Amino acid sequence: MADLELTVPTRVDGLLAETARRYPDRTALIAEGTGTTFGALEQRTRAVAAALRELLPQAGERIAVAAVLHPDFPVAYYATMRAGHVAAVVNPLLREEGLLHVLGTCEARVAFVDAALYARIGALRDRLPHLERVVLIGGASPGGPADTTLEALAETAPAGTPYEGGGDDIACLHFTSGTTGLPKAVRLTHRNLTVNAAQIAYAHRLDAASVTLNHLPTYHPMHLNSAVHAGAPQILFAGPDPAEALAAADRYGATHYYSLPVRLARLADAAEPAGPAPRALRYVASGGSALPPHAAARLGERLGVPVFQGYGLAETSPLTHSDDADAPVHGSVGRPVLGTECRIVDVDTRAVLAAGEAGEVEVRGPQVMAGYLGGGGVGADGWFATGDVGRVDTDGRLFLVDRLKDVFKCDNFLVAPSDVERALLDHPAVAEAVVVDLPHPYSSAVAGALLVLADPETTPEAVLADVNPRLPYYQRVQDAVAVPAIPRNGNGKIQRRDLRARLLDLTRGPASQPRPTSNGKVPAMAPEFTVVNTFTLKDPAEAAHFEEHFGSHVQWMRAQGGFRAHQAVRDLDTPGTYVNIGWWATPQDFKAVLGSETFQAHAAEFHRIVDVEADPSMGVLRVAENEGGQAQYVTVADVTGDAGEYETAYRAYAEAARALDGFAWLDLARSLPRPGRYTAVESWRDADAARHARELPEYAALAALTTSRTVTAAPVIGTR
């Protein structure tokens, strides 16, 4: 492994055994003021493992372990593997249907759950024929006819010897959501997890002198395994208040503070600091979803320590990238961790792209999964396609751009729209439902829904009042509107991006715009405010720096109120020139962003490296048939006659163009300060498809009404 020889035990439970041998009396965990040493943790693990071996003598059985933020989780997690079984890690926030799918998929024979999960499983036992025993963890007493508790299991354990197995054995199943919305079971080997523990410890500067504070709603094995490998004590802080968590970090001398982006963003944006920074604190780490760059910078200034991010997936154990803990670049998730490769490939051709070009992120390394339960998932050459779109700068740092899939993240949790749609469709008053992500300043995104109501007397609010309590908080629908029908394209497919824009129109448009009523009638949509910016490099050598800075800037812009979408392209006919078109709900939304300190700071850097020409406009037309499209064109047209005639002609051209093979999307905006000036952006599969469009009679009629200039462009970054 490059740059560092990672010496790790063969098996995951060996991480604990080795550290307990070296530091038996050192505190391993502190929860609610009570400490547990590595030696005591190993002793409890050994006892529970022996009990599991007696209960399930055949190795390789699957045991569900709820990842509660409590010292019982590591005992159950490591004991399962010590007994030669597979730990299926379960999110303790899952509701009944999610639990049924996860426990049924892994065919768990034993489940370690806290009191809340135990209550939910009680109603499901007759639908889980493989589940033989439920063990209470988390310090709770049985609230009913519980099978047993972790303590009782440990107390009655027989003498036994650890299971002897290899590093390629499956150690763990992690569940993640795919494009269908149904969680997939990811098969991780002992080597996947032990190597990643060492990779994380190295990237995060974790060693025996470190003390970590986990301010998280669940106990992620990455934090457990990396700290145990390093011999670092962990403080488990389950309360939601960041100020109280910081006070605990100070009280226990924490050097590393792990928290959710949503909590860190709120801490950064608080009107007053939460108090003095913890005296021993050296690093703040965020992961799971994006922490806005301005929030990371502001929090770093407040606490006087670096705030950095990483990137990974359940399929990669999970970490593949980490920013430099000592000198982070906000907006980036950093370089690959040791022994890991990353490349960006064209979404369609799968060709490897150069630095600065956006495409799908692929990774390869010793932490990449063995595959999904049921097969598949990793290429024959070891590369794993993440489903995320990003770009890598010339220094090897990864900047994430967008998702290829429909899923999105709320706080640290992946949300599959189809999961939420199924819950909505279970309501008797809902005939159809489409769920999309809506931008949120702290949670990254929240769920929104378009509903076709079967009962005209029912309102969207009444539906949500019934459905939301049955969903985990991160899946709950925050905005819903009634529509007469769900729009679909000619193939009957739903275009989620277009529906997302429509829902934003209906929920966050001008105050004068009426909301849909319970009878499903939707008023005409107001046009969107559009800004066309042309950037010209002052020094062509600054291209990579500009694209990196612009990528960070638009990530922040996407989180602002009223933002709809944007697309930036590079002018191939005039090197050093870029065009970005941004769509906003109202001019007031855009003006509010212009006045912010963060925007002004970004603009100052832009003006240092580019000349900027802004053209405030109004959106006229947006048409989308497919996503992507590699052949893009920007046309600036000056209408010589009647503007209304031109817009009518353009709509006719757009309808003809969308029927052609290879059409992706097009947008048209009308300049406000320059009457008669229009800017259009078109995207096609390739240049041949675009050429066929230019041969349409509708295009000839359009061209006759203007003097125009069309340039060939390449996509840089955008939501299209």
Say whether both 683 and 647 belong to one domain: yes
pLDDT at 3 over 80: no
- Strand 234-236 relative to strand 148-149, pairing: unpaired
State how far the Cα of 73 lies from the Cα of 62, in Å rounded to an integer: 16
The CA-atom distances, in angstroms, between 575 and each of 321, 391, 541 are 32, 20, 11
pLDDT at 160 over 80: no
State how far the Cα of 332 lies from the Cα of 576, in Å rounded to an integer: 23
State how far the Cα of 187 lies from the Cα of 366, in Å rounded to an integer: 13
- Strand 677-684 relative to strand 663-671, pairing: antiparallel
The answer to whether residue 484 sits within a structural domain is yes
pLDDT at 418 over 60: yes
Q: What is the pLDDT of residues 636-676, one digit of tens each?
A: 888 877 788 888 889 889 888 988 988 888 888 888 888 88
Token pair for 479: 């905005």
pLDDT at 50 over 50: yes
The answer to whether residue 424 sits within a structural domain is yes
Say whether both 541 and 422 belong to one domain: no
Residue 520 is predicted with a pLDDT of 34
Contact 233, 206 (CB under 8 A): no
What average pLDDT does this structure show over 169-183? 77
List, in order, residues 6 or more apart from 321 with CB less than 8 Å away.
310, 311, 312, 333, 334, 335, 336, 337, 340, 342, 398
What average pLDDT does this structure show over 469-485? 88
Contact 343, 362 (CB under 8 A): yes
Backbone angles phi, psi at 375, to 5 degrees: 110, 160
The answer to whether residue 683 sits within a structural domain is yes
Q: What is the pLDDT of residues 179-199, one digit of tens each?
A: 445 789 999 999 999 999 999
Choose between 340 and 376: higher pLDDT. Answer: 340
Say whether both 464 and 558 belong to one domain: no
The answer to whether residue 355 sits within a structural domain is no
List, in order, residues 6 or more apart from 591 with CB less than 8 Å away.
none
The dihedral of CA 590, 594, 596, 599: what is its sign?
Answer: positive
Say whether both 578 and 493 belong to one domain: no
Report the 3 state secondary structure along 531-544: EEEEEEECCHHHHH
Q: How many domains does the chain have?
A: 2
450: nearest Cα among 475, 470, 420, 490: 420
Percent of the chain, pLDDT > 90?
47
Query: Of the residues 457, 477, 508, which one is the last residue of a structural domain?
Result: 508
Contact 85, 13 (CB under 8 A): no
Query: Of the residues 457, 476, 508, which one is the last residue of a structural domain?
Result: 508
State how far the Cα of 494 lies from the Cα of 506, in Å rounded to an integer: 18
555: nearest Cα among 284, 265, 348, 347: 265
Q: What is the pLDDT of residues 297-347, one digit of tens each?
A: 999 999 999 999 999 999 999 999 999 999 999 989 999 999 999 999 988
How buried is residue 540: exposed, middle or buried, by Cβ count under 10 Å (0-12/13-18/19+)?
exposed
The CA-atom distances, in angstroms, between 132 and each of 14, 62, 126, 163, 486 are 28, 12, 11, 22, 44
The CA-atom distances, in angstroms, between 150 and each of 13, 54, 134, 507, 515 are 18, 15, 10, 48, 53
What average pLDDT does this structure show over 108-137? 93
Confidence band, pLDDT 50/70/90 cuts, at residue 242 = confident
Say whether both 478 and 557 belong to one domain: no
List, in order, residues 6 or more apart from 541 with CB less than 8 Å away.
none
Q: What is the pLDDT of residues 615-637, one digit of tens each?
A: 888 888 878 777 667 788 888 88
Strand order from edge to edge, sheet including 430-440: 430-440, 444-453, 477-482
Choose between 159 and 106: higher pLDDT. Answer: 106
Say whether both 490 and 542 belong to one domain: no
Token pair for 178: 């795919």
Residue 452 is predicted with a pLDDT of 92
Backbone angles phi, psi at 63, to 5 degrees: -125, 120
State how far the Cα of 473 lies from the Cα of 487, in Å rounded to an integer: 28
SS3 409: strand
pLDDT at 146 over 60: no
Residue 480 is predicted with a pLDDT of 92
63: nearest Cα among 74, 50, 52, 48: 52
State how far the Cα of 419 lies from the Cα of 464, in Å rounded to an integer: 15
Query: Of the residues 456, 475, 508, which one is the last residue of a structural domain?
Result: 508
Contact 179, 405 (CB under 8 A): yes
Mean pLDDT of the chain: 86
Say whether both 575 and 664 belong to one domain: yes
State how far the Cα of 415 lies from the Cα of 404, in Å rounded to an integer: 14
The answer to whether residue 680 sits within a structural domain is yes
State how far the Cα of 593 lies from the Cα of 67, in Å rounded to an integer: 40
Token pair for 126: 């007759």
pLDDT at 349 over 70: yes
Residue type, 195: V
State how far the Cα of 713 lies from the Cα of 709, in Å rounded to an integer: 13
Say whether both 701 and 556 belong to one domain: yes
Residue 634 is predicted with a pLDDT of 87
Residue type, 589: D
State how far the Cα of 381 lies from the Cα of 626, in Å rounded to an integer: 30
Highest mean pLDDT among 87-91, 344-348, 561-565: 87-91
Residue 182 is predicted with a pLDDT of 72
Token pair for 55: 């209960």
Residue 706 is predicted with a pLDDT of 87
The answer to whether residue 679 sits within a structural domain is yes
Write out the H or E segment, with its range, that includes residue 134.
strand 133-136
List, in order, residues 6 or more apart from 687 with CB less than 8 Å away.
631
pLDDT at 63 over 70: yes
Confidence band, pLDDT 50/70/90 cuts, at residue 547 = confident
Q: What is the pLDDT of residues 419-466, one digit of tens each?
A: 899 899 999 999 889 999 887 755 678 899 999 999 888 999 999 999
Confidence band, pLDDT 50/70/90 cuts, at residue 523 = very low
Residue type, 242: P
Of how many residues is the chain composed? 720
Return the half-sphere exposure (C-beta side, CA atoms, 13 A cut-off) of residue 576. 11
Contact 206, 200 (CB under 8 A): yes
Say whether both 501 and 546 belong to one domain: no
What average pLDDT does this structure show over 590-597? 78
Confidence band, pLDDT 50/70/90 cuts, at residue 607 = confident
What average pLDDT does this structure show over 507-513? 42
With tokens 């354990």, the residue in question is 157
Write out the H or E segment, with its range, that includes residue 206.
none
What average pLDDT does this structure show over 193-218? 97
Residue 530 is predicted with a pLDDT of 86
Lowest mean pLDDT among 391-400, 515-524, 623-632: 515-524
Q: Which CATH number is 544's domain given?
A: 3.30.70.100
Percent of the chain, pLDDT > 70?
91
Q: Which CATH number is 439's domain given?
A: 3.30.300.30
213 Cα distance to chain centroid = 23
Token pair for 454: 């079967």
Contact 195, 6 (CB under 8 A): yes
429: nearest Cα among 474, 388, 463: 463
Say whether both 490 and 609 belong to one domain: no
Contact 664, 683 (CB under 8 A): yes
Contact 211, 255 (CB under 8 A): yes
pLDDT at 509 over 70: no
Residue 145 is predicted with a pLDDT of 46
pLDDT at 143 over 70: no
Say whether both 589 and 710 belong to one domain: yes
The per-residue b/e assignment along 621-631, b for 16 or more CB within 10 angstroms, e otherwise, is bbbbbbbebbb
State how far the Cα of 384 lies from the Cα of 362, in Å rounded to an integer: 5
SS3 149: strand
pLDDT at 20 over 90: yes
Q: Which residue stretches of 279-395 are H helix?
A: 293-303
Q: What is the pLDDT of residues 670-716, one digit of tens each?
A: 888 888 889 998 988 888 888 888 899 989 888 888 888 888 888 88
Contact 86, 65 (CB under 8 A): no
The answer to whether residue 273 sits within a structural domain is no
Residue 624 is predicted with a pLDDT of 74
Concatenated DSSP letters for 620-644? EEEEESSS--SEEEEEEEEESS-HH
The DSSP output letter for 526 is P
Q: Which domain holds residue 419?
A: 408-508
State how far the Cα of 319 lies from the Cα of 414, in Å rounded to an integer: 16
For the CA atoms of 44, 47, 52, 53, what is the dihedral angle to 10 degrees? Answer: 140
What average pLDDT does this structure show over 56-69? 96
Choose between 277 and 330: higher pLDDT. Answer: 330
Contact 117, 135 (CB under 8 A): no
Other CB atoms within a 10 A radius of the CB of residue 344 amount to: 23
Say whether both 692 and 544 belong to one domain: yes
Whether the model pTM is above 0.75: no
Choose between 490 and 375: higher pLDDT. Answer: 375
The answer to whether residue 641 sits within a structural domain is yes
What average pLDDT does this structure show over 59-83? 97
